[in-house]
Amino acid sequence: MTDKKIKMEKKFKIKLDGKTINVIEGQTILEICRAKGLTIPTLCKQPGLRSEARCRICLVEMDKKLVTSCSTYPSPGASIITKTDRVKNARRRNVELIMAHHTGSCNINEDEKNELCYLAKEVGLEETRFKKVRNYKPTLGSSVIRDDNKCINCGRCVDTCSKIQRVNAIDFAGRGFNEHVASYFEKNLPETSCIKCGQCIINCPVGAIREREHIDDVIEVLNKKKKHIVVQIAPSIRVSLGDDFGYEVGTNVEGKMVSAFRECGFDKVFDVDLGADMTIMEEASEFLRRLKDGGPFPMITTCCPAWILFMESFYHDMFHNMSSCMSPHEMLGMLTKTYYAKKVGLKKSDIVVVSVMPCTAKKYESTREELQSGVDYVLTTREATKLIKHFGIDFRKLKDSKFDNPLGVSTGAGTIFGATGGVMEAALRTAYELGTNEKLKSPDFKSIRGMKGIKTGSVMVNDVEIKYAAAHGGANVRKLLENAKDYHFIEIMACPGGCVGGGGQPIPTTEDIARIRGEALHKDDDKDNMRKSHENPVVKKIYKEFLGEPGSAKAHEILHTFYKKRSEF
């Protein structure tokens, strides 16, 4: 996402570990070293962001002085050494100082997922000679829990919240050794403008912030077996769940995933892709209606609950621009408890719906009063992994199986919801064909795909040029909305990369990983026979048997919602 300015490139020579090399002006020592294949340990540095050089771990020696490689630009003729004892000792001592504070909540030798512990091994630290000096109480939220005892003040969550998401719900407070991450007036996170996207969680190297887990509740429900338990799985999970079971990033494990949940004891495994198809039907017809009525434009998608919170806090003048559609998993949850319940002859109260989502904001969404959620529990991808491991299931040895009927048939359009631009692409496929009664030459809208922060394009529908755009990541969202009036239709996802980069995904999840997962979803879509939501036979059946028309009174009663204003702080 870095916007590189075009300028004259100046080249000069420096000495790196004794060898003379050519470098381009404006590169940090870290960038130069990484390009040369040298590994330098880092902690607080985040790709794409200006370094704050807080942690002081990426030290190297430049002209006899210790400097942080992430923030230092070498001058011509500089001599840089990366491997002396002085450098190694200084790095190790800084990790040691950080460890002193973190120790007590984690064991250097045991916790593999903990980046700090990994770092400690990398710099050869076995135990710290320093005492722990601070003690805090953990703070609890409905979606996010923070434990300052584990926090090492690296500032990655703060940078993420302020620079990538532009939410600014958290920042540092206190000074000296009392510095800690806090929200306004030390309020609890749920009382602030936090949008619960969970990006701070996937960027935390030590697990000081994590989601509030509902895994124990789900296990209890599964063990009691008193109710009909349905699990529904979000589009992006099939390409991210594999990460935690040793698969290569972006591997599609849909078949094994379905088997695994069935093994856990769920009665039915449904596909949120179908919910996505339903969302498209409702959203596309809402859009066509707006087109007929002349507005209001732009219409903005509402699949992302973090974006909903973002809008409710910061864009009070945009309520009328929002689509009234619920998000796909809420739609499917409602359909499970109404349409499906009726079909199988169960009462609404007999069914428990568990959603597996790449998202922490969905946890909050299912408690929203505005939509009287059909979903009882939301698990993140990480929790899903834990659940599968809890039941002792050997994921890699499972046989593939298919989603259950009737709510398990989906199209490629639903699948690509998991990647940024996917909702827009799916909506355009349906809106075009329903609006013009013509077949699209190609269902591909390539201009809306990929990891570019803001993507735009246009298509002719009945002699009207429809301008559409998609943005992901709060900073890009703010940028796009400055020119919102230029567009008819806008898709917004709060997390970089869309749901594939969601705050509930396995750690690590970086922009690169999100891109690979997104590409995997598009590959899945390409292979699909059905690539348009309105071609889904189950969708047709639901409308025929239950809802009538898209946008009908019944559809509105079950599948639509409204929003409320929130404080900016």
Partner 1 sequence: MQILKKTKMNALKVARNLGPLGVVEILRKKKVTGRGGAGFPVAKKWKFAMDTDSDVKYLICNADEGEPGTFKDKFIMLKNPKTMIEGIIIAAETIGVKNVYFYLRGEYLNLREGLEKEIKSMLKKSESDASIEIVMGAGAYICGEETAIIKSIEGYRGQPYCKPPFPPKAGLWEKPTVVNNVETFVHIAQSLYFDDYNTNLRLFSISGCVKKPGIYEALSGESLTKVISKAKPTNKPKAIYFGCFGGCKPYKEMKLTAKNICGDDCVHGAATLIITDDKTSAVDMAYIISKFFTYESCGKCTPCREGNIQVLLLLKKLRAGEATKEDYELLKELSLHVQETSLCGLGQTSTKHITTGIKYFESEFTDLIKEDGTGKEE
Q: List residues binding partner 1 (CB under 8 A).
A: 51-57, 59, 66, 68, 71-73, 90, 93-94, 97-98, 100-101, 129-131, 133, 153, 171-172, 174-179
Catalytic residue among 362, 363, 455, 532: 362
- Whole-number CA gyration radius for the chain: 25
Catalytic residue among 143, 240, 323, 410: 323
Q: Tell me the closest approach of the beta carbon of residue 453 to partner 1, in angstroms.
A: 20
Tell me if 42 sits within 8 A of 30, measured CB to CB.
yes
Q: What letter would DSSP give residue 488?
A: S
Query: Bridge partners of 269?
Result: 231
CA 266 to chain centre: 25
Sheet-wide strand order for 351-357: 268-271, 228-233, 351-357, 377-380
9 is catalytic: no
323 is catalytic: yes
Name which of 168 and 259 has its Cβ closer to partner 1.
168
CA atoms of 13 and 19, how far apart (whole Å): 10
465 is catalytic: no
Q: Tell me the closest approach of the beta carbon of residue 53 to partner 1, in angstroms.
A: 5
CA atoms of 566 and 569, how far apart (whole Å): 9
Catalytic residue among 115, 254, 283, 491: 283
Tell me if 84 sits within 8 A of 18, measured CB to CB.
no
Write the DSSP string, 339-369.
IIHHHHT--GGGEEEEEEES-SHHHHHTT-G
283 is catalytic: yes
Q: Tell me the closest approach of the beta carbon of residue 3 to partner 1, in angstroms.
A: 15
Name which of 58 and 378 has its Cβ closer to partner 1.
58
| Rounded (to 5) percent helix, strand, coil in the chain | 45, 15, 40
433 is catalytic: no
Can you state the angle between helices 381-390 and 254-264, rounded to 10 degrees? Answer: 60
Catalytic residue among 117, 304, 495, 499: 499
Residue identified by tokens 């420096």 is 14
Q: Tell me the closest approach of the beta carbon of residue 191 to partner 1, in angstroms.
A: 22
355 is catalytic: no
Q: Tell me the closest approach of the beta carbon of residue 134 to partner 1, in angstroms.
A: 9
Catalytic residue among 370, 438, 545, 568: 370
Terminal-to-terminal C-alpha distance of the chain: 27
Q: Tell me the closest approach of the beta carbon of residue 473 to partner 1, in angstroms.
A: 22
Q: Is 220 left (phi over 0), alpha (psi -120 to 50) or beta?
A: alpha
Q: Tell me the closest approach of the beta carbon of residue 169 to partner 1, in angstroms.
A: 16
33 is catalytic: no
Contacts for 108-115 with beta carbons within 8 Å, 24 or more apart?
A: 113/207, 113/507, 114/205, 114/206, 114/207, 115/43, 115/205, 115/206
Name which of 8 and 133 has its Cβ closer to partner 1.
133
Q: Give the active site residues.
A: 283, 286, 303, 323, 362, 365, 370, 499
